[in-house]
Chains A and B, each alone.
Chain A
Amino acid sequence: MFEAVAFYLFAFLTIAMFYITVTTSQALYALTALAAGMIFISAFFFILGADFLGAVQIVVYSGAVMALYAFGMMFFDTTRDVKEKQGNKYLVVGLSAITAVLIVVIFSAPIVSNNIAALYPMVEGAGNTQEIGLVLFTKYLVPFEVAAVMLLVAMVAGIVLAGKKMDLSLTLMSEDEIRQIKEDKDKKVTS
């Protein structure tokens, strides 16, 4: 009973928030609605007993990703209305629905044919976080490390792309060049 009420409540809230995200013409409304939707999605993870995943969802999405977007929006003009593509609305909605249903059918085909078995059954008497640690650091250790390297690459790429004067290297320049840059900077400050 409680589960059903929670499921329908959060399903309604999530759909409403994401609907606002894709339809509003204000970038700030879209950002706020997206952040709210992310938090509501973590509720499903808690209902499903995936506590660790729910906590990660809140920390990573509502914390890190939303902060990044909010930071990125400082660069853009967000007060202007977002322009939309002009096209057949029914065509867009129909194509989206068909594609989504197709993808779900593809992924649930093994379920229908009962051709599915648990590879890593839940361990009895262990919490969700403990189980995830057991699986992540044994079977999925290599993908975990690869994901860590990928995040490092993404971090370096983000710093280099968004930072200023990242194409210059102070250690590779001669003294004269460095002095030149410094003088230019001073000139800018005084002028």
Chain B
Amino acid sequence: MMEIGLNHYLVLSTILFAIGLIGVMRRKNLLMLFFATEILLNSVNIGFAAISHYYGDLTGQMFAFFVIAIAASEVAVGLGLLVVWHKKHNNIDLDFMTSMRG
């Protein structure tokens, strides 16, 4: 119990991923949805770093770096789009964004 192994980190990663998914499913506000996706990416990073440590392999950490880079660019583009939408419609709720309905 006192020895922290790979399974502990994987369980933690699972719990955080589940929290992020709950956020994605129940949030209506698009900004809150972005927060939930950040949680998802971070939980995966913990799993990568833990496997990298316990198998003595650096590939996991490399993947974590690329995940961080992708998260940063996602925030930049997503927030820009969100600002443009908010200026136009004064609302960032998901139910409101139905203009692409067929």
Given contacts A22-B26, A72-B31, A92-B25, contact A50 B46 (CB under 8 A): no
Chain B residues positioned under 8 Å from A121 (CB to CB): 56-57
In the complex, A122→B62 CA distance in Å?
Answer: 13
Contact A99 B21 (CB under 8 A): yes
Counted as pairs of residues, one from A and one from B, with CB atoms less than 8 Å apart, the total is 218
Chain B residues positioned under 8 Å from A150 (CB to CB): 69-70, 73
Contact B39 A101 (CB under 8 A): no
In the complex, A111→B64 CA distance in Å?
Answer: 19
Contact A76 B77 (CB under 8 A): no
Does A56 have its Cβ within 8 Å of any Cβ on chain B?
Answer: yes
Chain B residues positioned under 8 Å from A49 (CB to CB): 53
Q: How many residues on B have C-beta within 8 angstroms of the other chain's C-beta atoms? A: 71
In the complex, A29→B87 CA distance in Å?
Answer: 24
Chain B residue with Cβ nearest A148: B69
Chain A residue with Cβ nearest B80: A161
In the complex, A151→B73 CA distance in Å?
Answer: 6
Contact A96 B18 (CB under 8 A): yes
Chain B residues positioned under 8 Å from A108 (CB to CB): 10
Chain A residues positioned under 8 Å from B84 (CB to CB): 161-162
Residues of chain A whose beta carbon lies under 8 Å from any beta carbon of chain B: 1, 3-4, 7, 11, 14-15, 18-19, 21-22, 27, 30-31, 34, 37-38, 41, 44-45, 48-50, 52-53, 56-57, 60-61, 64-65, 68-69, 72-73, 75-76, 82-85, 87, 89, 92-93, 95-97, 99-101, 103-104, 107-108, 111, 116, 118-122, 131-132, 135-136, 140, 143, 147, 150-151, 153-155, 157-162
